[in-house]
């Protein structure tokens, strides 16, 4: 039996990897207890359908695996209170997510939020939408200060993996709903 060549193995792995229309970039930096996050993705679609997904807080747990619950507590115009619960697990460590967010919406442009209760001393997030010819650029920035111990190096890797997973799930739902609109 002949050994499998590396180029063939690489081609096979790439062929079996799930296809992703969006190029997703996530960067996580740590300074002491503060995590700074930047992410962006560009994908086919329109801003209106993308906005619909971004502000569909009650359904987040249906398509973002790390969330077990996401629900609107109150809405007053463009100001929304959202409770989210979930966790991420790596090896034997569980990292909780339990947060109440005060969300401010600027329709079809920006969603900003900050934690007002939960497992973070500080949590500020912003999503910005930019329409491009038949495409959408979604940018995310976040500043997190957990209210629990996060190991120095390992914690940054866990947070990067979690953010990548959550951002990717959000973008995939945006792509799915944008594609279904065209049918």
The per-residue pLDDT for range 147-170, each reduced to its tens digit, is: 877 777 777 887 888 889 999 999
Residue 87 and residue 95 in contact, taking contact as beta carbons nearer than 8 Å = yes
Distances (CA, A) of 181 to 52, 71, 136, 138, 178: 12, 25, 15, 19, 5
Please write the tens of the pLDDT for every residue from 39-95: 999 999 999 999 999 999 999 999 999 999 999 999 999 999 999 999 876 556 677
Whole-model pTM?
A: 0.84
SS3 172: helix
Report phi then psi at 92, rounded to 5: -105, 5
Residue 121 and residue 145 in contact, taking contact as beta carbons nearer than 8 Å = yes
Whose CA is closest to 39, among 145, 144, 148, 154? 144
The whole-number pLDDT of residue 152 equals 76
């Amino acid at each position: 039996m002949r050994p499998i060549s590396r180029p063939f193995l690489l081609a096979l792995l790439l062929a079996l990897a799930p296809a992703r229309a969006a190029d997703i970039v996530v960067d996580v930096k740590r300074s002491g207890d503060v995590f700074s996050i930047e992410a962006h993705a560009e994908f086919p679609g329109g801003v209106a359908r993308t906005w619909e997904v971004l502000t569909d807080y009650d359904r987040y747990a249906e398509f973002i695996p790390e969330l077990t619950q996401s629900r609107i507590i109150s809405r007053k115009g463009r100001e929304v209170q959202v409770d989210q619960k979930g966790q991420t697990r790596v090896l034997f460590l569980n990292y909780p997510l339990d947060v109440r967010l005060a969300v401010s919406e600027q329709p079809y442009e920006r969603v900003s939020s900050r934690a007002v209760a939960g497992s973070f001393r500080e949590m500020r997030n912003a999503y910005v939408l930019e329409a491009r010819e038949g495409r959408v650029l979604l940018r995310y920035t976040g500043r997190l200060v957990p209210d629990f111990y996060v190991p120095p190096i390992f914690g940054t890797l866990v947070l990067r993996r979690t953010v990548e997973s959550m951002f990717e799930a959000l973008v995939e739902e945006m792509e799915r709903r944008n594609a279904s609109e065209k049918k």
